[in-house]
Structure 1
């Protein structure tokens, strides 16, 4: 699967640089932390065949990608069993149980995930997982990947007024980790998830782990990557780092000018402490 490139892609990657100073990174779970779509497809295909869905003809990957991937269980029940939602929800509960039984042996982290994890940790950024998956699934995946201590919050679509593609889960995540949408970006792998992030006013980096590139681009992500090792991602993060350093240097210069003029310095505590460590003044600070 190819990923967008060219001048337009370069221009879109610069969207991340405008987020400096970065405060947080939010992650979807299925398909974003691990490539779980093949296992979801397998469990759907097997269990739907057992009940003679579609006359016993197996569902295709295209059907799964377009109709089921990334969606909330109630929406999937409506797609599969429009005349029996209650029965559809029971089917999906059984399907999710099968997924959880198979997950420990079949799920692996998306390439480069732990490199990205270290980048986030090294910068002391806030982080949350935001998913339409059932809580049991999300907690299991996070545990399998060894990320239980990494995330500060886990937001489940079913716990929000509206799941993805509505913005509610991402808005709830911003509130949970107390950050601004103007200094946060998202990793997502589905059209549903990208739409949710964009609707929340966030920049979204899309992973092409299981969905068609053309459909994902229609949801308007900042840009697409193959995985967390993608050079395009690291070029964008380097530009973001450079922009943040330039902003701090400019702020430091202005602070020193205020101190030299005998004027007070006002700001937020954590940011001011960092600035203080970089400069020569040790006067009392007015902290917001």
Structure 2
């Protein structure tokens, strides 16, 4: 991303959220948005693909992971990795998720500043839901490991919808589940697939450059990008929203 594009994002960030006033809800992706889980996914895929001699026994690199795996639904990953044997692909991704959950229990860490933001959301009584393409077992485990089981009022799973991200349906179902309006809700996302889903659902999306390159994320048209939840750009926007009376505290 160029310096000028970063500056533009920064100058637009306050106005983007002010247009939502009064904000009543926030929707969160899970993988890469609540926690830095992509390295665990990458490791699990790399090791398991090596075992079966995928790519001639050459380990998949981060570029391959970002392009073909990160943020995608397992059905799409199965088709990408095993184009001639979808059923094998589904079995492989199921086994990979089991391996991933073992890694989560040992190594999962929150995105920097997550608990600061969680406190802010709670203090303002905003509605909130998690919306993810992860399998439910993964999502519930990660949310539990982060201490957020009681925080979320709903968890929407892409595979339990007719269409997963990048289709907007999961985010629209998230709104419905917590009784919120898209005119007063924004989203946190870290993948192009998720950002596209949120934008298609008609809501501003704040993108996290947790792992994906900023240029790659900007192609999906987030409202602006932050590095993590400590980013001054985010707090400048939230503080301006408060100053303008743009928070709809739930009673």
TM-score, length of structure 1 as denominator length: 0.84
Equivalent residues in 2 for 1:43-54, closer than 5 Å:
43-54=44-55
* CA–CA separation in structure 2 for the residues paired with 1:11 and 1:33: 24
Partner SS state of residue 187, structure 1: strand
Do the aligned partners of 1:188 and 1:205 also contact (CA within 8 Å) in 2?
A: yes
Please name the residue that 1:85 is paired with.
86
SS at match of 1:21: coil
What corresponds to 2:95 in structure 1?
94
Corresponding residue of 2:130: 129
Partner of residue 170, structure 1: 171
Residues 212 and 114 (structure 1), Cα distance of their counterparts in 2 relative to 1, 3 Å cut:
same
1:118 corresponds in structure 2 to: 119
For 1:64-79, list aligned pairs within 5 A. 64-79=65-80
C-alpha displacement of 1:218 = 0.9
Aligned residues: 250
Could you say which residue in structure 2 is the equivalent of 1:283? Answer: none
- C-alpha distance in structure 2 between counterparts of 1:224 and 1:107, whole Å: 23
- Matched residue, 1:279: none
Contact 2:13 2:233 in 1 (8 A): no
1:192-250 deviation per Cα after TM superposition (whole angstroms, max 9, x unaligned): 000000000010000000111001111110100000000000001111112226x99xx
- 1:12 positional shift: 3.9
Q: Secondary structure of 1:26's match?
A: strand
Q: CA deviation at 1:5?
A: 2.5
Say if 1:29 and 1:98 are closer, same or farther in 2 by CA, change over 3 A: same
Output the CA distance in 2 between the equivalents of 1:176 and 1:193: 18
SS of residue in 1 equivalent to 2:19: helix
The ranges of structure 1 where at least 4 consecutive aligned residues each deviate by more than 4 angstroms after the TM superposition are: 1-4
Unmatched runs of 5 consecutive residues or more in structure 1: 249-269, 275-288
CA contact (8 A) 1:2 1:213 kept: no
RMSD, aligned α-carbons: 1.8
Q: What residue ranges of structure 2 are gaps of 5+ in the alignment?
A: none
**1:224 is matched with which residue?**
225
Residue in 2 that maps onto 1:181: 182
Cα distance in 1 for residues equivalent to 2:14 and 2:227: 14
Partner of 1:206: 207
Decide whether the 8 Å contact of 1:208 with 1:225 is kept in 2. Answer: yes
Match of 2:104? 103
Q: Distance in 1 between matches of 2:24 and 2:118?
A: 14
Largest Rg, 1 or 2: 1
Moved more, 123-132 or 1-10: 1-10
Which of 74-83 and 1-10 deviates more?
1-10
Residues 68 and 76, structure 1, Cα contact 8 Å, conserved in 2: yes
